[in-house]
Each structure stands twice: as C-alpha cells, then as structure tokens.
Amino acid sequence: MPTLTMEQAQLEAVRRLAQRRLAARCAPDGSPLWHAHVRERLRTLHAAQVVFVESPVKRKVVRAGRRGGKTVGVADLGVKAFLAGRRVLYAVPTQDQIDRFWYEVKRALEPAIDQGILYKNETRHLIEVPRTETRIRAKTAFNADTLRGDYADLLLLDEYQLMNEDAWGVVGAPMLLDNNGDAVFVYTPPSFRSAGMSKAHDPRHAAKLYAQAAQDMSGRWQAWTFTSHGNPYLSTEALEDITSDMTSLAYQQEILAKDMDDIPGALWTQSLIDAHRWVGPLPEFVRVVVGIDPGHDAGIIVAGRTADGRALVLDDLSVSGDPDTWAAQGVAGYHKYYADALVPERNHGGEMVETTIRHVDAKVHVKTVWASHGKYARAEPVSVLYNKHKVYHVGIFGHLEGEMCGWVPNAGHPSPNRLDALVWALTELMLGTDASPPVIAPPTITTPSRWRR
C-alpha cells in the first residue's frame, strides 16, 4: 500500500471527518439524516407485502406466487432492519437468485454508500456501517454447510422450498439463539418441474412449515399467502408470458401459490403413502430387487417381497452421473440389500445397459425390461397395489414420493425417473411371472440408521 504524503493524509482526515459529521446529522425524529434518504428510495409495497413486512412476530412464513413480489418485500424488510442497527443475513440457494435482492438493497442504500457512510463489498455481497456490527449480507446457501460462517439477528431464507431442512434446523435456528433473533421463510410451492431442483430430504418441508405456522396459537409464528395476481406492479403481459407454457397444476402451484398435497389426476396421494409406512422390525424377504431407470438422472429403487405377499420399498439410491455412475450405484445396492436381480429398463440404451452393469460386476443377475406400453399402463397396476395395502415404505423417501404424488398421466410432465424405477421393481416383485420364486434372501438385512428417524 503506497505511503500517503502529509498533504494527502490531511485531505483523507478531512474527508473522514466530513463523512462522520454527515452520518451524525439527524432528522427531526432523531434518526440519522441519511436514513430518510434511504427510506425515500425503497419501493412502494403492495398490500400483501406490507402485512408481512410490518408484522412483529418472530417467525414469518411467506408463500407467494412467482413474480408476486416476495423478494422485493424481503429486501424492504432487510433494509429497514439494517437501518434499525440489526445484523441481517439473506440466504438463497443459487448465485443467480441473489441478484434481485442485492439490486434492491443497493438501490436503497446507494446514496449512503456513495457518500462513504456505508462500506460495500461487492464480492461478498455485504454492506455495513464501519466499525459496528450493523450489516446486511446476501449469500448462497442450500444446506447447513453452505450457511455456516456468519451470524445474524435477522435471517431471511428465500426460495426455502429448494433448501435442505438442515439449513434452518442445524445452523439457522442456533444462529439466532444468542440474541433472540427473527427468521423469515419465503417460498413458492414447487411444481413437478422445479421439485427436482430441491436439495431437501423432504421436498414438502416448506409446505409443512407453513401449515405449522398457520396453526400456531402462541403468537410467535405467522403465515401469509399471496398470488402472482396480487402484485399490482406486474404487467398482464409479463404474467401471461410466464404462464403460457404451464400446465394447470403448475399454474395453481407457482402462480396461485397453492400447496397441492392431493393433485387431481395423480395415481398416488400423500395420504395414501403416509398410511403405508412400515412400522416395526423388517420381515424376511423371499425376493429383493433393484429397479433402475437409466439416464443422467437415474432412478434406482430397492424393494423386497415378503412371504405373505407384501412389498416393502427399502431405499431410494437414485443418482446423477454417467452410465458408469448409475451402474455402480445399482450394483452397490444389489450387494447391500442381498438382491437377487437388477431390473433396468433398456428402451434408451439397448444392450449397452446390461453391458455397462456387467462392466462393474459380471456376476450380478440382470433382468432387463422393455417398456412396450405407455407410462400410465405400467404405473396404474402398481398404484392399485397401494390401494390394496400390498406395498409399504420403510422410511420417508421425499423425492420419490414427490414424483409419485406429482405425476399426472398425459399432463406433459417430465419423465419421473424414481417413479419409473419403482414401477419396474414392484412389477417384477408383485406382477411379473417370477413374482414368487423359491429364493430366500438372507434375513439379516441390516436396517440403515436413517430408518430409525
């Protein structure tokens, strides 16, 4: 760092003194004068935003439609908390999603930044009052590890439906203990398309948190909902543009902000699956198979059949990667659960599917299947097994169950890889010609620790 001349040092001292005097100037209400300039630059909020921003509760859950104004509202809340001397941390899953919040914050605080009253670090997305604990920061965080490394007394979790639950439970909540801080959870109900981006164990965790907040009688929690149509600043043309290629279901979720537990036309409902959770020790299995839907996002589901004719879904080992990756994952599941067959679909790979698996382990039993009928024709008989109380889930498989409850036949949804793998496994066990061969799998299958949650 170059050494300042005496004249330069004097000028710098004068500049800093002027900044301190400017920062100390007060408005008639006693607040620093620059606060008033910041408030003048804040957006005019619409009615739904005002309600949640001004609420005094400690825990706020906001469910809003796309372009409904949730991030602008959260930015307003964050800036006002910053002016009140609080330490604000805004977290969102990806860097691209930071941009809107950061733009709004900088826009409001720009005069004070330009005058040197506030310090801004663009790389860290941080603005602070020098030599104080007062700051506002935006960072990417989709799980507990990525949220670590900072603290706050106001935590804003945006696009919360895409975050792992541990971001709040393991790091967020303890972060607020020392100062009895506040938290805001903001989300849009995930459509079938966006649910696959979630890092959560349970893709419905945000909806469950909303339901808990809505039922809270302590006064500590509160929940709000507003649709995309509730934003008067959103043009009709813009709204039509983002809804033009949406299905009716996606429109209800992403525009009308509805959490859809039971989706019209779906073959499964969450209540049906919840009613078929296996409780108690695992039984012996006459067969165990691993269903595989090959692809970059490969569905890999392990299921077993009991001697009394019931099927238990044991694990979801689905993985993203190249063919060697899903083949290795499938073979690992085969050995872990003492399976007697791998059941991969070969429509989009032909002989390559079995060859890839054999390259990993030449000794495993592979029984490839061909999808000669449409997806509905394959899935519907399996859904009937659930209604007949023939299939149970050992644990909670959030992503699999999200696909099961979210897939509607002929609705133009993406191919549900986990659901496909489930269908292949259960068809082989319960509906195929070899559903009950006299093969007894070892009864000592170890129950993974996560089943005990």
Task: For each of the domains in the chain, give its residue range(s) and CATH number, in order of start.
Answer: 6-254 (3.40.50.300), 270-452 (3.30.420.240)
CA-based nearest residue to 445, from 331, 261, 321, 312: 312
pLDDT at site 267: 87
How, if at all, do strands 59-64 and 221-226 pair? parallel
Q: Which residues contact 251 (CB under 8 A, 6 or more apart)?
A: 243
pLDDT at site 33: 77
Contact present, 394 and 272 (Cβ < 8 Å): no
pLDDT at site 411: 62
pTM: 0.65
Three-state DSSP at 191 gives coil
**Biggest CA-to-CA distance, the chain:** 95
Contact present, 139 and 94 (Cβ < 8 Å): no
User: Can you tell me which residue has the tokens 């509160």?
Assistant: 222
Three-state DSSP at 90 gives strand
pLDDT less than 70: residues of the chain: 1-4, 9-31, 191-197, 245, 247-249, 261-262, 264, 348-350, 372-374, 410-415, 433-453
Contact present, 198 and 76 (Cβ < 8 Å): no
Q: What would the two tokens of residue 172 be?
A: 């967020």
Measured CA to CA, the distance from residue 97 to residue 109 in angstroms comes to 20
pLDDT at site 251: 80
pLDDT at site 443: 38
